[in-house]
Amino acid sequence: MARRILTGDRPTGPLHLGHYVGSLQNRVKLQNEYETYVLIADVQALTDNFEHPEKLEANIFEVALDYLAVGLDPAKVRIVVQSMVPELAELTIYFMNLVTVATLERNPTVKEEIKQRNFTKGVPVGFWSYPISQAADIAIFKADLVPVGEDQLPMIEQAREIVRRFNRLYGKVLIEPRAMLGAMARLPGTDGGAKMSKSIGNCIYLGDPPDVVRKRVMTMYTDPKRIHPTDPGTVEGNPVFTYHDVFNPDKAEVDELKARYRAGTVSDTEVKARLYRALNAFLEPIRAKREAYANRPDQVRQIILDGTRKGRELAQETIAQVRNAMSINYSFTHSRDRTMDRARNALSHVWKTVHEIMTVPSTGNIAICWFCGAIRSLRNGKVREFTVDGRNIREVTTRPIFVDDETSANIIGFDCAVPDSNIDLDYIESTIRGIPEAFYPSVD
């Protein structure tokens, strides 16, 4: 099974340094090892922005620009727009049966967000239940790994729970995902708050021009107890130093600044000025790449369309398996069409022929399906099905050969049975090989 990543962002505007440290950096690093899908979660963005759907299209474009700017390679990574994959909505509905209201109510991230949002007319069901749709995002792409920031851990846990329940109830179709945290689980805001958040306005965006970055850095929150450059300052938990640690590659400079800060021999202004220099050096190439793509909007749109098409193909494949597993793949058609439909949808038998050397003239070579252990032969216009019991091989059914029998979609009792049942193929094969020719049932 290919190792696969699915992760995503709500398109509520351009992405910031918090996104980079929390997840983007990991995606760029892992895109060579993992088949990577990145979801622009516009349906999720609607859950608290449903009054302004007209903003989504421009925001989707901004987020795609950020992805490309930080180095996600469009030749490797599929950028998928959530609303253009309606199968996600379908899977969300099925998943709703597998989650209790009480579980949703306990989700700490959603609780926190509800507090911030201050929904005056009550919490919309869509917002409150978005962890279910996020579980569908992850499950439909059969991702094993989800690089995210710390605040998303409850969503991944929820997805794991749903997948486990689904697989237990309906059969093992879905993959239980793992979360992967970024180098820094949570980057504080420029105001010293726990995290960067657009609604609080404490962000530095990946596309911010130098003067904006400068202003943001120079007005950053630092040690509030420090009034003069000669006061000993605190480095721990000071966001200016947290940023230095993350974005300043010159570790010697950072160590020296920390020592001087503690000793009271450096000004806040100098520490910030050096942070600005480091941060700007980091952002410069990202900014340049972002502008280059922004000047080629048609190319960006094509990248989004291509990624979404590939993403949807995968989603369609999974949703068909989901419906099969849930036995809601009805086809209310004429019975003959139905047989053909079933044959088409069925797992194909994989025939391994035995007795090629010792051909049994009247029976034909015996074949065993390596999935389900079914035994059959084709001869003289007849399909025969056998069972092995002890030292005997017994014929169970005989019927005329259909066209399908000649192909891999070959049917005995329609489709191939459970691939994971405990069939000892070696035993069956050795038994068949051990049965002397004379013991074969004599068939006409």
Which of these segments, 8-16, 219-227, 264-272, 383-391, binds ligand TRP (CB under 6 A)?
8-16
Rounded CA gap, 92 and 317, in Å?
16
Give yes or no for a contact between 239 and 101, defined as CB atoms under 8 angstroms apart.
Answer: no
Task: Note whether 314 binds ligand TRP by CB under 6 A.
Answer: no
Instruction: Give the dihedral of Cα atoms 320, 321, 327, 328; nearest 10 deg.
Output: -20
Q: How many residues bind ligand TRP (CB under 6 A)?
A: 14
Is position 39 an interface residue for ligand TRP (rule: CB under 6 A)? Answer: yes
Distance CA 418, CA 436 (A): 30
- CB closer to ligand TRP out of 79 and 148: 148
Outline where 149-208 has alpha helix (H). Answer: 153-170
From 5, 21, 38, 41, residue interacting with ligand TRP (rule: CB under 6 A): 41
Cβ closest to ligand TRP, residue 180 vs residue 443: 180
Cα gap 181→347, rounded to integer Å: 38
Residue closer to ligand TRP (CB basis): 44 or 158: 44
Shortest spacing between CB 82 and ligand TRP, in angstroms: 7
Instruction: In angstroms, give the least distance from the CB of 39 to ligand TRP.
Output: 5
> Which residue is nearest to ligand TRP, using beta carbons?
41
Among 4, 8, 46, 276, binds ligand TRP (CB under 6 A): 8
CA angle 38, 39, 45 (to 5 degrees): 145
Stretch 60-79 residues interacting with ligand TRP (CB under 6 A) = none
Residues 98 to 157 in contact with ligand TRP, rule: CB under 6 A: 134, 137-138, 146, 148, 152
Could you give the CA distance from residue 42 to residue 46 in angstroms, rounded to a whole number?
6
Beta strands, E only, 261-391? 351-354, 366-369, 375-379, 382-389
Minimum distance from residue 107 beta carbon to ligand TRP (Å): 11
Asked whether position 10 contacts ligand TRP by CB under 6 A, the answer is: yes
Cβ 159 to ligand TRP, closest distance in Å? 8
Helix orientation angle between 297-325 and 153-170, rounded to the nearest 10 degrees = 40
In angstroms, give the least distance from the CB of 234 to ligand TRP: 31
- Which 3 state secondary structure label does DSSP give 226? coil
232-239: long-range contacts, CB 8 A cutoff, minimum separation 24: 232/261, 232/262, 232/263, 232/264, 233/261, 233/262, 233/264, 233/268, 234/262, 235/261, 235/262, 239/188, 239/189, 239/190, 239/192
Bridge partners (DSSP) listed for residue 7: 38
- The least distance separating ligand TRP from the CB of residue 2, rounded to whole angstroms, comes to 18
CB of 214 to ligand TRP, least distance (A): 28
Separation between Cα atoms, residue 254 and residue 278, nearest integer Å:
10
Residues 358-387 interacting with ligand TRP (rule: CB under 6 A): none
At its nearest, how many Å lie between ligand TRP and the CB of residue 151?
A: 8
Binding residues for ligand TRP, rule: CB under 6 A, are: 6-10, 39, 41, 44, 134, 137-138, 146, 148, 152
